[in-house]
């Protein structure tokens, strides 16, 4: 196979992995941990970026080394802080991880297993990691994990070059950058470099290459010293129970090993075992390097977890994915020597992985919450997936001057405060989380706070988190609404959230469309946009006096073009006495580009007689009054 053609399979794998990642970049709203990434990078509304702010936030919340946050700060300030733009960064790191895993397998085979095909080992390794549903999940999570996995593959590849090729300054600089990046990407990178250092002390020949490699490892350790003091703080806090929930949810030895194998292989543990067995049969020096590194890294992590209780999620060990993948590659290539068609194995592995990713298999989603009642009753409820994008889209499309938005989240408010601000900081609306308002349910304390928040807002949006039972605050807020507001109906009702709109009862100072007859007043509660999409929707308020005969009148809205021709209309029954809010939607129908106006009339539905209408703009009696104008482009 020519060199040009030999690259086609890995390009196909990379394109497939890209598709699997891109399809989910904007599927879900960001959640607490992703918001935390933005916050520590001094991004979005928490900016503008300054070194002083960045250093202060990283030292106060040192749960991850600073490299990922620093790269994210540069990325966000370059491409923007939308969820889609930001999540393309972990996708990019994931693609690099797959590519470097291919190169790791290729180069290790070429230098240590002449009887095996380097391209087959590399391709099999790329498929093994690229079709892991667990790995694919993190391609669209704004977290450090694909960044960290990429540095693990990069570090092992550069180490192999250091001990098997003629070293140059370029080789040495690349190795130093790789291992320093591993340390500064995740604290578990210390395990990765430590295992590599132990292998280096025991096995390679002690020549000039060996001395240079050891020296550069020590230099990387020195370069990590500025952060080392900070790095010591999270571990003792976890060990002594600084976070009792995470402490209680830490995985035991059996859970760590079984989940590691299960999640990497998409449940194909038997197939994984067979491939690992045949990888060992290759008796390659590179395989022993990978096995030594894998066993020591996982063993130290497991033993450390017995004391520190810090592994509650398998993502902390995602750096072993490239190594397991290359071992799978060696196993596939070794089986190929036994006349077993490798592409059948790769097709099975890849098909199961793709099916798992696309269908969101419950077995693979299970990793998202550890098997701990303490965790499930605490953090799991805090981190429910919520439709923040839908809420933002509806509010942004309909917000009016003076509107207020209240969100009810009865527990774990800390988990959504930052996310709430992220999605609404740039929308001109007064907003709060109900649990942030002061007061208890005694002596009308909380009722007073809610009334102060509303403070004559013309409209109030009430969003309710349905993942947890409501508390007294929601009932009290609705009680406050009932004093001066009427419901305009439900805007959406999804499994985890609902949104309702309320309009303030108008007083004598509220501007109206006009008055029809002696007792009917109409109000436009949402300005018509300058440019509208199909179909046209109008929000009206009707104030009907007690003197108006019930069940007698209807109203109509007419759309006229610039020539005064009627092009669309809708008729509805006039609401009963009092004040009512009502959405009116015109029948669907394409309107040509141009200018249009909407007019309202009230008429006796049995006779067709229209009530005379008056408005400040039309003081003389008219049978129709102007509601507003819009354009279609």
**Which pLDDT tens digit goes with each residue over 6-35?**
789 999 999 999 999 999 899 899 999 999
Which residue bears the tokens 């509208």? 532
Task: Compute how many other C-beta atoms are within 10 angstroms of the C-beta atom of residue 400.
Answer: 15
Which of the four CATH numbers 3.40.50.1370, 2.60.40.2550, 3.60.20.10, 2.60.130.10 does domain 514-632 have?
Answer: 2.60.40.2550
Least Cα distance to 179 among 149, 152, 147 occurs for 152
Give the whole-angstrom CA distance, residue 390 versus residue 630.
25
Task: Compute how many other C-beta atoms are within 10 angstroms of the C-beta atom of residue 175.
Answer: 25
Which residue bears the tokens 């450090």? 144
Q: How far is CA 531 from the centre of its chain?
A: 31
Token digits of residue 120: 């087959």
The 8-class DSSP code of residue 536 comes to P
Give the whole-angstrom CA distance, residue 286 versus residue 605.
87
Strand 430-433 and strand 404-408: pairing? Answer: parallel
Task: Compute how many other C-beta atoms are within 10 angstroms of the C-beta atom of residue 416.
Answer: 24
Q: What is the pTM of this model?
A: 0.89
Give the whole-angstrom CA distance, residue 176 versus residue 607.
89
Question: Could you say which residues of the chain have pLDDT below 70?
Answer: 1-5, 231, 233-248, 360-381, 533-534, 588
Q: Which residues of 19-52 are buried (b: 16+ CB within 10 A; e: fewer)?
A: ebbeebbeebbbbbebbbbbbbbbbbebbeeeee
Largest CA distance in the chain: 106
Q: Which residues pair with 578 in a beta bridge?
A: 544
DSSP sequence for 516-559: ETTTEEEEESSPPPSB--SSPEEEEEEEE-TTSPTT-EEEEEEE
Q: What pLDDT is attached to residue 503?
A: 96
Residue 60: C-alpha distances to residues 213, 234, 246 (Å)? 34, 10, 19
Token digits of residue 86: 């930001």
Helix, strand or coil, per DSSP, at residue 163: helix
CA-based radius of gyration for the chain? 32
Give the whole-angstrom CA distance, residue 147 versus residue 89.
9
């Amino acid at each position: 196979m020519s060199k040009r053609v030999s690259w086609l399979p890995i390009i196909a794998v990379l394109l497939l992995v890209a598709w699997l990642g891109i399809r989910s970049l904007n599927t879900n709203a960001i959640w607490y941990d992703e918001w935390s990434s933005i916050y520590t990078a001094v991004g979005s509304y928490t900016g503008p970026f300054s070194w002083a702010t960045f250093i202060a936030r990283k030292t106060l919340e040192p749960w991850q080394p600073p490299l990922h946050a620093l790269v994210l700060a540069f990325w966000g300030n370059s491409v923007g802080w939308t969820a889609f733009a930001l999540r393309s960064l972990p996708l990019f790191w994931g693609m690099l991880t797959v590519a470097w895993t291919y190169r790791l397998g290729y180069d290790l085979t070429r230098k240590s297993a002449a009887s095996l095909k380097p391209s087959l080992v590399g391709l099999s390794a790329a498929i093994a990691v690229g079709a892991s549903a667990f790995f694919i999940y993190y391609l669209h999570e704004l977290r450090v994990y694909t960044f960290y996995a990429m540095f693990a593959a990069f570090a092992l590849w550069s180490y192999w070059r250091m001990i098997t090729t003629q070293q140059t300054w370029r080789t040495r600089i690349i190795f130093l950058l790789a291992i320093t990046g591993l340390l500064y990407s995740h604290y578990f990178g210390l395990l990765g470099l430590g295992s590599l250092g132990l292998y280096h002390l025991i096995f390679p020949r002690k020549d000039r290459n060996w001395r240079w490699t050891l020296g550069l490892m020590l230099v990387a350790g020195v370069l990590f010293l500025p952060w080392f003091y900070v790095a010591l703080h999270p571990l003792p806090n976890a060990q002594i129970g600084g976070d009792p929930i995470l402490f209680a949810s830490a995985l035991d030895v059996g859970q760590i090993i079984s989940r590691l194998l299960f999640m990497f292989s998409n449940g194909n543990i038997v197939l994984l075992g067979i491939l690992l067995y045949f990888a060992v049969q290759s008796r390659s020096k590179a395989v022993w390097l990978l096995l030594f590194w894998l066993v020591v890294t996982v063993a130290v992590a497991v033993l450390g977890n017995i004391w520190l209780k810090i592994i509650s999620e398998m993502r902390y060990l995602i750096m072993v994915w490239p190594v397991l993948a290359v071992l799978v590659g060696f196993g596939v290539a070794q089986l190929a020597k036994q006349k077993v068609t490798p592409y059948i194995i790769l097709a099975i592995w890849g098909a199961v992985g793709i099916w798992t990713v696309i269908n969101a298999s419950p077995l693979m989603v299970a990793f998202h919450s550890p098997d701990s009642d303490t965790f499930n009753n605490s953090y799991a409820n805090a981190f429910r997936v919520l439709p923040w994008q839908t809420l933002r889209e509806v509010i942004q499309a309909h917000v009016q001057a003076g509107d207020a938005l209240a969100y009810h989240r009865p527990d774990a408010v800390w988990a959504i405060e930052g996310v709430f601000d992220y999605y609404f900081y740039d929308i001109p609306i007064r907003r709060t989380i109900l649990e942030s308002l002061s007061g208890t349910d005694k002596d009308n304390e909380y009722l007073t706070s809610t009334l102060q928040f509303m403070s004559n807002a013309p409209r109030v949006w009430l969003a309710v988190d349905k993942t947890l039972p409501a508390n007294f605050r929601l009932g009290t807020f609705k009680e406050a609404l009932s004093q001066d507001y009427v419901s305009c109906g439900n805007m959406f009702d999804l499994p985890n959230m609902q949104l309702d709109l309320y309009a303030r009862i108008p007083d004598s100072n509220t501007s109206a469309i006009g008055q029809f007859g002696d007792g009917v007043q109409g109000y436009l509660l949402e300005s018509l946009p300058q440019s509208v999409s199909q179909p046209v929707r109008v929000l009206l308020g009707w104030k009907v006096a007690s003197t108006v005969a019930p069940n007698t009148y209807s109203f109509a809205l007419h759309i006229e073009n610039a020539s005064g021709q009627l092009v669309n209309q809708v008729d509805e029954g006039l609401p009963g006495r009092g004040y009512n809010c009502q959405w009116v939607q015109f029948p669907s129908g394409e309107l040509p580009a141009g200018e249009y106006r909407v007019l309202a009339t009230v008429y006796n539905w049995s006779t067709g007689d229209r009530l005379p209408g008056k408005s400040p703009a039309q003081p003389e009696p008219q049978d129709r009054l102007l509601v507003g104008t819009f354009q279609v482009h």
